[in-house]
Structure 1
Amino acid sequence: MLDKPFKTIEEQIELIKSRGLMIFDEERAKQILMDIPYYSLLNGYKDLFKHPIKKDLYNPSASFELFYYVYLIDLQFNSIVLKYILMIEKSLKAKVSYVVAKNIGASQIDYMDSRNYSNRNNKLRSTLSQLQEVINDCRSGTPTKYYKDNKNHIPPWILTNDIMFGLVQQWYSILPADSKIEVCNKFFSSKYESFDLQEKQQLLSNGLDLLRAFRNKAAHGGRTFNFKQSHKTINNTIYSFTSEKTIKLSEYRSTEIGKNDFFSILIIITLFLNEPISLQQWFDELNSIEHTINSQKIIDRQGYQVFNLPSNFIERLENLVV
């Protein structure tokens, strides 16, 4: 017998009701379940609506419609954050390709030569192999394919259009020390001059890893509110330049806020967005979503609490850019 046998939409509705969850409009609920799988909606957010005593039941104050409301807010928050992660990914590609072209060469004859790189992290061979694979297997309609067929070389700023976030990170990681420093410094404006080089490099490396982990989780249906990345963290020393107005050391130690959680993602985006118009748009959109998430209580919690954010999370972020 299957552990999870198929259930019709009608059977799913009955299962929901049997677990004590109110449904105010069953026909609408059926339509929602045709658009969003039961697992993604009910299992995905059940931790927010647990019964205080009975493990298999929902909180008596919860409803199917409240699940859907939280799902939509989460989706909206995800879409905002993902948009700016994409901007940072493009920024990384622009900076790496610029430095590679300037310091190593604009032709693949030069930038695919292993002698022009460092192998300190033992990723040299695999990184160049993956870059070569992108060149060899480029699909019709891509910039790389066009240059491969019509030009006498493929510049790095063309190749980066067709490589993934993780691969451009690896390309950055094998650059010679001077080129890595150059890329790193381009990510941090003069307002972060109090960061020493080692702090900048660690923040860039770990920050990019955290952004990529969040993007991958969100793209596969992961929830925003419970994001946690155990492998990479933001070092608390970077918060000293705001006199702990963004994160207090006591908070960092006791709750790990700003270490590797969802608020960390917002912090990294704020730090890595140096273009003024993009940065202002980021804050405008955060203000909009802050109004949305706090417009209705989720049972007994405000929206910012559901997303594990400080109540003044936007003000804290603004302290990073003043």
Structure 2
Amino acid sequence: MENNIIFDKPFKTYDELISIMEERHIDIPNKEFAIQVLQNYSYYGIINGYKNTFLQVPNSDSFIPGTNFNELYTLHLVDTALNNIIFKYILFLEKALKSRLSYLVAQKYGVYTDPSDFRCLQDNDYLYKKNYSTSGGKRTNVLRSLKERISRDTKNPIMQHYLNDKNHVPPWILTTSIPYGLTIEWYNILKSDDKQAICDSFITPGLFSNEQSKEFVRKAFELTKEYRNKIAHGNRTFSMISLPQLPKAQTLALTFNIISEEEYNNRMGQNDTFAVLLALIVMLSDKYLISNFQTELYNTLSPYSSILFNKQSILDIFNFPNNLFERLDNLIAQKFN
């Protein structure tokens, strides 16, 4: 039965893939180089990944005549480099949350937890259920997940060292064993005052109501988590969809209105790559770190500032404003003024 099926996407040799590209109006200046690129990154990763910038008709396979294979390859390289930079600074935000969270928990609730108490009933345990809020309905599952990370993480040498050679596993050691998503869930079940203390360590207290402050911080965590997950699964920087949205009032105020209300309403800085950049700059408090972030972004994008890809600049393609770096300069200057 299977032998009679005509597959939609049958295997193609590299030479056949080259022919398909030429039939679709893609110029191949150097076929040996093109084959080498396809070996390293695949046809899907290079052609399907970036074709929307060069199509004659959206959602077709017909490229604008004169589209150059090297342009598609260049976009892939820039996109990968940008992904790597953003990924790295999301990791810094994750570390900042873990550091603040573990400090607060240890300070208020101690450094002891019983890995076998999955019901979290011991009142001397920092994962004791009454230390946390029931408002979101997730307390039981989150606390159990944290306990399971302690008792079942056999691949983390730090955790194993504390389990085998120490008499307790403090919260700052637990954070070495949990992913960003579970860390955010731990933060989300904190009691209101504890959560506010974390928020106040990320953004200046008093700018908004407590609920508005918590809303922005929660959305910034959710946005960066989802963006990182999509990067990790090979999504392209400029085609991210279904991401959490930063709240308008807080975003405009915390970025000193470097985006206008009209731009925000037109989806700039809501839940796109630009929003991720803004969230990271707002949430990271280390001026040296943010300066490095800005420099890395500039060094990645500026070499292509005079190049057009089907009449679009590199900033257009990534849905950044054309004066991106002027805006980031203003934001950083006012943040640390």
Do these two structures clear the TM 0.5 threshold for a shared fold by scoring above it? yes
Alignment of 1:173-184 (within 5 A): 173-184=188-199
Asked if 2 retains the 8 angstrom alpha-carbon contact of 1:293 and 1:304, the reply is no
Asked if 2 retains the 8 angstrom alpha-carbon contact of 1:77 and 1:289, the reply is yes
Residues 292, 197 of structure 1: alpha-carbon distance in 2 compared, 3 angstrom cutoff: farther
1:10 maps to which residue? 15
Alignment of 1:220-239 (within 5 A): 220-230=233-243, 232-239=244-251
The alignment of Structure 1 onto Structure 2 pairs a total of residues equal to 318
TM-score by length of 1: 0.93
User: Aligned partners of 1:266 and 1:240: how far apart in 2?
Assistant: 14
Asked if 2 retains the 8 angstrom alpha-carbon contact of 1:252 and 1:259, the reply is yes
- The secondary structure found in structure 1 opposite 2:67 is coil
Residue 258 of structure 2 is aligned to residue 246 of structure 1: yes
2:29 maps to which residue? 24
Residue 211 of structure 1 is aligned with which of 224, 238, 248? 224
Asked if 1 retains the 8 angstrom alpha-carbon contact of 2:248 and 2:264, the reply is yes
User: Aligned partners of 2:66 and 2:144: how far apart in 1?
Assistant: 56
Residue 291 of structure 2 is aligned to residue 280 of structure 1: yes
Residue 197 of structure 1 is aligned with which of 203, 210, 230? 210
Q: Give me the identity figure in percent.
A: 33
Residue 73 of structure 2 is aligned to residue 60 of structure 1: no
User: Aligned partners of 1:205 and 1:266: how far apart in 2?
Assistant: 16
Residue 301 of structure 2 is aligned to residue 296 of structure 1: no
Write out per-residue CA displacement over residues 141-184 of structure 1, whole angstroms, 9 at most, x where no aligned residue.
52111101110000110110110000000000111111111111
- The secondary structure found in structure 1 opposite 2:237 is coil
Write out per-residue CA displacement over residues 23-64 of structure 1, whole angstroms, 9 at most, x where no aligned residue.
000001111111112111111111111015893211113111
Residue 141 of structure 2 is aligned with which of 126, 131, 150? 126
CA RMSD in angstroms comes to 1.8
Structure 1 runs not aligned, ≥5 long: none
1:92 maps to which residue? 97
User: Aligned partners of 1:242 and 1:130: how far apart in 2?
Assistant: 34
Pick which of 103-112 and 170-179 moved more.
103-112
User: Aligned partners of 1:193 and 1:307: how far apart in 2?
Assistant: 34
User: Aligned partners of 2:236 and 2:253: how far apart in 1?
Assistant: 31
User: Aligned partners of 2:223 and 2:59: how far apart in 1?
Assistant: 35
2:39 maps to which residue? 34
Asked if 2 retains the 8 angstrom alpha-carbon contact of 1:245 and 1:316, the reply is no
Structure 2 runs not aligned, ≥5 long: 1-5, 115-124
Runs of 4+ in 1 over 6 A off after TM superposition: none
Pick which of 20-29 and 236-245 moved more.
236-245
1:310 maps to which residue? 321
Asked if 1 retains the 8 angstrom alpha-carbon contact of 2:153 and 2:159, the reply is yes
Asked if 1 retains the 8 angstrom alpha-carbon contact of 2:55 and 2:62, the reply is yes
Asked if 1 retains the 8 angstrom alpha-carbon contact of 2:247 and 2:270, the reply is yes
What letter is aligned with 1:296?
I
Residues 299, 243 of structure 1: alpha-carbon distance in 2 compared, 3 angstrom cutoff: closer
Residue 157 of structure 1 is aligned with which of 166, 172, 180? 172
Residue 83 of structure 2 is aligned with which of 64, 75, 78? 78
- The secondary structure found in structure 1 opposite 2:297 is helix
Write out per-residue CA displacement over residues 248-307 of structure 1, whole angstroms, 9 at most, x where no aligned residue.
111222x21111111101100110111111111112222222313414221211110010
1:48 maps to which residue? 53
CA offset at residue 196 of structure 1?
3.0
User: Aligned partners of 2:141 and 2:58: how far apart in 1?
Assistant: 52
Residues 272, 139 of structure 1: alpha-carbon distance in 2 compared, 3 angstrom cutoff: same
CA offset at residue 243 of structure 1?
8.8
CA offset at residue 186 of structure 1?
1.0
What letter is aligned with 1:320?
L
User: Aligned partners of 1:31 and 1:5: how far apart in 2?
Assistant: 21
1:115 maps to which residue? 130
TM-score by length of 2: 0.89
User: Aligned partners of 1:210 and 1:243: how far apart in 2?
Assistant: 16
